[in-house]
Amino acid sequence: MLKTIYTPKAPAAIGPYSQAVVCGDMLFTSGQIPVNPETGEIAGETISEQAEQVMKNIGAVLEEAGTNFENAVKTTCFLADMGDFQVFNEVYAKYFVNKPARSCVAVKTLPKNVLCEVEVIAKL
């Protein structure tokens, strides 16, 4: 059975999808972008500022599902510019201290023209 996860502490979905879904004892998040859930605006202009907001949003979804960053098994990271890789990694490393499996790719464009997006698979 699937369970949909929603928290007002993270941005609402901007399309026909959920913030996250629980399947068994696993959580699958949708990609989180650096939208401040209180204002609906993009948080920050630099990769560091935007990555911090992404991590806050992921943290809120993980918490709502009853898990945390330490239980992350796999992440997929999308960057608008691979030149931001090092700075993005500095922010990422503060949150994903258990070093889950990860893919990180540069993409042509992200929703709302943000600089980064991250999705997570975590155990509950």
The model's pTM is 0.97
* 8 A C-beta contact, residue 48 and residue 115: no
Q: Half-sphere exposure of residue 105, counting CA atoms within 13 Å on the CB side?
A: 7
- Model pLDDT, residue 1: 86
- Model pLDDT, residue 112: 95
Residues in the chain with pLDDT < 70? none
| Distance from C-alpha of 47 to C-alpha of 111, rounded to nearest angstrom | 15
Total Cβ atoms within 10 A of residue 60: 18
Total Cβ atoms within 10 A of residue 69: 19
| Distance from C-alpha of 16 to C-alpha of 78, rounded to nearest angstrom | 20
Q: Where do the domains of the chain lie, and which CATH numbers do they carry?
A: 2-123 (3.30.1330.40)
- Model pLDDT, residue 14: 81
Supply the residues annotated as catalytic.
Answer: 104
- Lateral strand order in the sheet of 116-123: 2-5, 20-23, 26-29, 116-123, 72-79, 101-106
